Amino acid sequence: MKLPFAERLRQGVLVTDGSIEAELQRRGLWEQPPELYVLEQPAVVEDIHRCFVEAGADIVQTNTLRANRIALERYGLADKVYELNRTAVWLARCAALHRAYAAGVVGPTGKLLGPLGPIEPEAARQAFIEQIVALVDGGAELLFLKGFVEVRELELAIEAAQMVNPRLPIVALKAFAEDGSVLASSFPSQVVQRISRFLVAALGAAGTVGPQRMLSIARRIVAVASVPVCAIPDVGVPQIKGDVRSYNPEPDYLARVARELVELGVRIVGADGGATVECVRAIVQAVQQAFPGRAVEKKLEPEPTGDTEPVFAEPPPPTPFAQKLGRKFVVTVEMDVPRGVGMDSVIEGARYLQRCGIDAINISDGARARLRISPIALAHLVQSQTGMECIAHIACRDRNLVALQSELLGAYALGVRNILAVTGDPPHIGDYPFAAAVFDVDSIGLIRILRSFNEGRDASDNFLGQKMNFCIACACNPAAENWREERARLERKVAEGAQVVFTQPVFDLKLWERFRQATEQLPVAVVAGILPLRNVRHAEFLHYEVPGITIPVWVRQRMAQADTPEAAIAEGIAIAVELVQAVRHTADGIYLMPPFRRYDIAVEILRRLELIPEQPALVP
């Protein structure tokens, strides 16, 4: 008769089973996700469990890592959550019987949590609850929570498990990235401190990293953990084709590392990705030889970890633009970025605007999904060649979470520290309508990342070594059709760290007043967008064909009365001046968007308003 899991854990070392996916592939079963074989080939899955038990495994894990509703949606299996999980436990129990414990496995949703990603924390928690209910109903003797890269998502899974059955033992496992510098820092210890807030039977790490990296992780976890530690490395680095991962396991090597892990103080050991039945057998034999009966007389003292709290270099001061916010009425001008690599017009325009006393220029990121030079590269060129400060727009459309953060690191290294976070227009309206859209995160998620960078950490809370002090800007549309949603998103942007908001072009003063009344309590500077109109056709195009822009009737009527191109330009300037005068007392600055590189129009507006000196400047 089996002892209760917690009691058995106190008596000595436990060895887990290996990779069900690896064993399925050995049997010629390559479909994704491997969880579907619980329903399609239950006899095969049960046989794999039984082979692991016969190899000596003390714990068999259900084939349910990706069996929550959100993860299964990708494969059209969301309606199979209960059936799949309950059946999976039954198969594991039939193989385990009195010889091993059947652990219900819960993995991540496979999507980023908000605000970085599209999944709200409560939705993730409910998905975990639904899965765990099925695992518990199936008779799981404990839960393995594994594969979690985000600590917050792991915490949600723990909360869900304790809501379903607070007495069921939980083994909470973080997946660490293959990054020696991170693993050598205090980050693993910090993860333990967060997980230790919960009552778990054991904690540790599983998957992603190979045996050598796992030794580094385990050493640091054992040093600070107050509960038994579990360490389950992958067998090595996989070859990946599509969704399929293949490994080249070496059982003797895994066995040797498993013994070292136990000597460090690990109490649940095994191997994960790529681990076959032979790997488990080798690990079991190594542990039995080193610790007969798998009982460890005392916990060996771990080697010194050298963990220290991160020491950050002195951050740079706020950008000059950031220092002006709230102290003066700032003026920025958007540049018209040409196609190709010839940026002479932008450089000359920036020099002209600098001579006129403009505070900064805005450089868009492929607006309307058009192919244009990287805004970071162009901002660096402008700043280095002219001294004009730039605000670089960064869109989430084209870059995944890794590339976005790499772009920000590059921006910091090049001295580009004013960033306006935008979600980005969809590719189908641009130059390449069949290009893939990424959208790992939206603008709210990018703002969260920028705030993390300012705190010296990346999106996964890894130490970056430097606090970066970006000036974080966002966008808002006072004329949005769904104003309630637009307002809610702005509030979230500010809560995540936005310091200044640039609005879409303002034409309707009633909508501007509504916007300011709704946002006056937000701790954020507001820069009003002003777009000088070129002629009546320009006004009608914006009003009828560009979503999110409303041109009032009085504006269109005035533009229609201009009978020459020169008169139309003059009327557009006059209207822009009137709009700035109307919003000036409730804004912290203006953001001018002159048409077709007519930067002289922006300058004329500012001179009429006496916002820049009257001395002449050469037009580019």
Sheet with 14-15: list strands edge to edge: 14-15, 268-269, 229-232, 202-206, 170-174, 142-148, 101-106, 59-61
Residue 416 lies in a domain: yes
Q: Is residue 562's pLDDT more than 90?
A: yes
Distance between CA 538 and CA 329 in Å, rounded? Answer: 28
Residue 302 lies in a domain: no
Residue 314 lies in a domain: no
Distance between CA 245 and CA 275 in Å, rounded? Answer: 12
Q: Quote the pLDDT of residue 100.
A: 97
Domain boundary among 228, 260, 294: 294
Helix (H) or strand (E) holding 172: strand 170-174
Same domain for 282 and 379, yes or no, is no
Q: Quote the pLDDT of residue 617.
A: 57
Same domain for 284 and 390, yes or no, is no
Q: Cα–Cα distances in Å, from 541 out to 547, 549, 558?
A: 10, 10, 15
Query: Using an 8 Å Cβ cutoff, are 601 and 594 in contact?
Result: yes
Identify residue 342 by its one-letter amino acid code: G
Residue 309 lies in a domain: no
Structure tokens at 236: 């090595």
Q: Cα–Cα distances in Å, from 378 out to 291, 344, 381?
A: 63, 11, 5
Same domain for 11 and 50, yes or no, is yes
Same domain for 248 and 341, yes or no, is no
Q: Is residue 296's pLDDT more than 60?
A: no
Q: Quote the pLDDT of residue 619.
A: 57
Query: The tokens 């772009």 sit on which residue?
Result: 407
**β-sheet bridge partners, residue 16:** 59
Helix (H, G, I), strand (E, B) or coil at 504: strand
Q: Quote the pLDDT of residue 308.
A: 53
Residue 306 lies in a domain: no
Query: Using an 8 Å Cβ cutoff, are 200 and 168 in contact?
Result: no
Q: Quote the pLDDT of residue 297.
A: 47
Q: Quote the pLDDT of residue 300.
A: 44
Which residues, at least 6 apart from 377, have a Cβ–Cβ distance to it below 8 Å? none
- Largest Cα–Cα separation, the chain: 98
Same domain for 240 and 335, yes or no, is no
Distance between CA 611 and CA 609 in Å, rounded? Answer: 5
Bigger pLDDT: 178 vs 609 = 609
Helix (H, G, I), strand (E, B) or coil at 516: helix
CATH number at residue 576: 3.20.20.220
Q: Quote the pLDDT of residue 303.
A: 46
Same domain for 421 and 481, yes or no, is yes
- Reported for 80-85, long-range contacts at CB under 8 A and 24+ positions apart, including other chains, are 80/39, 81/130, 81/131, 81/134, 82/130, 82/133, 82/134, 82/137, 83/39, 83/134, 84/35, 84/36, 84/38, 84/39, 84/134, 85/131, 85/134, 85/135, 85/138
Same domain for 459 and 525, yes or no, is yes
Distance between CA 289 and CA 287 in Å, rounded? Answer: 5
Q: Quote the pLDDT of residue 236.
A: 85
The whole-number average pLDDT for the span 508-517 is 95
Helix (H, G, I), strand (E, B) or coil at 187: helix
Residue 305 lies in a domain: no
Residue 234 lies in a domain: yes
Q: Quote the pLDDT of residue 293.
A: 61
Q: Quote the pLDDT of residue 88.
A: 98
CATH number at residue 174: 3.20.20.330
pLDDT digits (tens, 9 = 90+) for 371-388: 999 999 999 999 999 999
Domain boundary among 259, 279, 294: 294
Q: What is the total count of domains within the chain? A: 2
Structure tokens at 294: 């798998």
The whole-number average pLDDT for the span 452-477 is 92
Same domain for 263 and 327, yes or no, is no
Same domain for 221 and 335, yes or no, is no
The whole-number average pLDDT for the span 111-116 is 86
Task: Determine which of 293-307, 557-571, 585-599 has the lowest per-residue pLDDT on average.
Answer: 293-307
> What are the start-end ranges of the H helices in 506-591?
509-519, 536-545, 553-561, 565-583
Angle at the Cα of 498 from the Cα atoms of 399 and 121, rounded to 5 degrees: 70
pLDDT digits (tens, 9 = 90+) for 525-534: 999 999 999 9
Task: Determine which of 90-99, 246-255, 425-434 has the lowest per-residue pLDDT on average.
Answer: 425-434
Task: Determine which of 257-271, 349-363, 423-437 has the lowest per-residue pLDDT on average.
Answer: 423-437
Structure tokens at 108: 């991540």
b/e per residue 345-380 (b: at least 16 CB within 10 A): ebbbbbbbbbbbebbbbbbbbbbebeebbbbbbbbb
Distance of CA 352 to the CA centre of its chain: 39
Bigger pLDDT: 421 vs 440 = 421
pLDDT digits (tens, 9 = 90+) for 65-89: 999 999 999 999 999 999 999 999 9
Residue 304 lies in a domain: no
Same domain for 338 and 289, yes or no, is no
Q: Cα–Cα distances in Å, from 207 out to 34, 91, 141, 147, 174?
A: 16, 23, 22, 7, 8
Task: Determine which of 124-128, 370-374, 425-429 has the lowest per-residue pLDDT on average.
Answer: 425-429
Q: Quote the pLDDT of residue 289.
A: 87
Domain that holds residue 586: 320-608
DSSP state letter for 22:
H
b/e per residue 224-256 (b: at least 16 CB within 10 A): bbebbbbbbbbbbebeeeeeebebebbbebbbe
Q: Which of 427, 429, 431 is nearest to 439 (CA)?
A: 427
Same domain for 325 and 290, yes or no, is no
Distance between CA 518 and CA 504 in Å, rounded? Answer: 16
Query: Using an 8 Å Cβ cutoff, are 317 and 308 in contact?
Result: no
Same domain for 282 and 386, yes or no, is no
Distance between CA 417 and CA 544 in Å, rounded? Answer: 36
Distance between CA 299 and CA 115 in Å, rounded? Answer: 42
Q: Is residue 430's pLDDT more than 90?
A: no
Distance between CA 174 and CA 154 in Å, rounded? Answer: 7
